[in-house]
Amino acid sequence: MFWNLVVLDLSDNLFMGGLPRCSQKLNLVFLILNHNKFSGKFPSSLKNYSSLAFMDLSVNSFYGTLPSWIGDLVYLRFLQLSHNFLCGDIPVTITNLKRLRQLSLAGNSISGVIPFSLSNLTAMTQKHPKKPGVDMFVWYTNRVGKFREVWSIVMKRQELKYGARIFDVVSMDLSLNNLTGEIPYGITSLNGLLNLNFSWNQLSGKIPDRIGAMESLESLDLSRNNLSGEIPTSLTDLTYLSSLDLSYNNLTGRIPPGRQLDTLYLENQSIYTGNIGLCGPPLERNCSRNNAPEHDNQQKIEKISEPVLFFYFGLGSGFVAGLWVVFCTLLFKKAWRLAYFRLFDKLYDKAYVFLVVTWVRINHKETTT
């Protein structure tokens, strides 16, 4: 009886418990269950909904690992699973979703590394798609009658509200998890992304050098990680970037000069906070002053250490050579060896006699007094 059900929207209610199991293969295209109290493991019955293009299970209490069969839902364009209790690794099969344009796993307990094959998400590589959301919007309104007025997405450090344009926002949000490892180099090929948020994780390594190839980026948040190295100069090529946050990492070196980054700093002066190794404008920390003393001290250490090193090397070599000369002489010259030991015997006898006589004199004085 539900064979023709294509849109199921139960969002913003107080539904509880797990999703009912359904062994039937349904033709659902929109599954919208966000902002409820659904719980239980990630619903295995969803693998039967192979026609799904839009899945929003955000702000519920689903737990467990994200299954590998998620990559079989090849028609998915929007996957919103934020603010649940999901854990484990991101399945590599998620990169099979070549139509995916929005991915949000924020606010879970997902760990492990970010899949390196992100370049397979080809729908996120389109810089200027020809109104990709129009067909979704028309399809939805023809069946439901009225398009839902408000959709929200966290972007530019705030929750933005969208109407029909939600279908055109290309976004990846993996923030507020326990992800480790480096940012995959393949992420730079997703030059259709408008929003990239990896904040509040444990990512390490460097920011990819070719980050500037992501020409469509409007919002980039890599804050609260363990990223190191210098800020790539290509970051200044992101002319559409209107929100940037690199705070609380271990970044070092000179901030790349450019009007774009200067403007972003004027709008939000905390974008570099917590990176004590960064220097140069627009920060007050001067790179030349910071680096010059260290360089000079290094030169002084080198100048001092070279002669000291040669001195101790010569001293040690001379000691070893002299010791071997004496040892070899005593070993092969019998007359010298006898004279050497006789000398020690005489010195020993004289020292012994001296100590005995001195001891007797001291005792004699004490008895007479």
Secondary structure in 3-state letters for the chain: CCCCCCEEECCCCCCEECCCCCCCCCCCCEEECCCCEEEEECCHHHHHCCCCCEEECCCCEEEEECCHHHHHCCCCCEEECCCCEEEECCCHHHHHCCCCCEEECCCCEEEEECCCCHHHCHHHHCCCCCCCCHHHHHHHHHHHCCCCCCEEEEECCEEEEECHHHHHCCEEECCCCEEECECCHHHHHCCCCCEEECCCCCCEECCCHHHHHCCCCCEEECCCCEEEECCCHHHHHCCCCCEEECCCCEEEEECCCCHHHHHHHHHCCCCCCCCCEEECCCCCCCHHHHHHHHHHHHHHHHHHHHHHHHHHHHHHHHHHHHHHHHHHHHHHCHHHHHHHHHHHHHHHHHHHHHHHHHHHHHHHHHHHC
Mean pLDDT of 56-74: 96
Predicted local confidence at residue 297, as pLDDT: 46
pLDDT, greater one: 64 or 332 = 64
Q: How far apart are CA 140 and CA 53, in angstroms?
A: 11
Instruction: Report yes or no: 66 and 43 within 8 Å, Cβ to Cβ.
Output: no
- Least confident segment among 66-80, 183-197, 298-312: 298-312
Instruction: Report yes or no: 190 and 120 within 8 Å, Cβ to Cβ.
Output: no
Predicted local confidence at residue 38, as pLDDT: 96
Q: How far apart are CA 197 and CA 308, in angstroms?
A: 53
Predicted local confidence at residue 118, as pLDDT: 87
Predicted local confidence at residue 333, as pLDDT: 60
Predicted local confidence at residue 103, as pLDDT: 96
Predicted local confidence at residue 212, as pLDDT: 94
Q: How far apart are CA 365 and CA 37, in angstroms?
A: 104
Q: How far apart are the first and last CA of the chain?
A: 128
The band of 5, judged by pLDDT with boundaries at 50, 70 and 90, is confident
Share of the chain above pLDDT 70, in %: 71
The contacts of residue 70 (CB under 8 Å, 6+ apart) are 79, 91, 93, 94, 97
Quick check: 217 pLDDT over 90? yes
Predicted local confidence at residue 292, as pLDDT: 42
Q: How far apart are CA 224 and CA 176, in angstroms?
A: 9
Report CA dihedral (46, 48, 50, 52) to the nearest 10 degrees.
Answer: -30
Instruction: Report yes or no: 284 and 265 within 8 Å, Cβ to Cβ.
Output: no
Angle between helix axes 287-332 and 334-368 (nearest 10 degrees) is 100
The band of 6, judged by pLDDT with boundaries at 50, 70 and 90, is confident
Instruction: Report yes or no: 22 and 47 within 8 Å, Cβ to Cβ.
Output: no
pLDDT digits (tens, 9 = 90+) for 223-258: 999 999 999 999 999 999 999 999 999 999 999 998
Quick check: 369 pLDDT over 80? no
pLDDT, greater one: 310 or 66 = 66
Q: Give the CA count within 13 Å in the CB-facing half-sphere of 78.
A: 21
Predicted local confidence at residue 76, as pLDDT: 94
Mean pLDDT of 121-128: 83
Residue of 216, 242, 5 whose CA lies nearest to 101 = 216
The band of 260, judged by pLDDT with boundaries at 50, 70 and 90, is confident
Average pLDDT, the chain: 82
pLDDT, greater one: 173 or 325 = 173
pLDDT digits (tens, 9 = 90+) for 136-175: 555 565 555 555 556 677 777 777 777 667 778 899 999 9
Predicted local confidence at residue 160, as pLDDT: 74
Quick check: 356 pLDDT over 70? no
Quick check: 290 pLDDT over 80? no
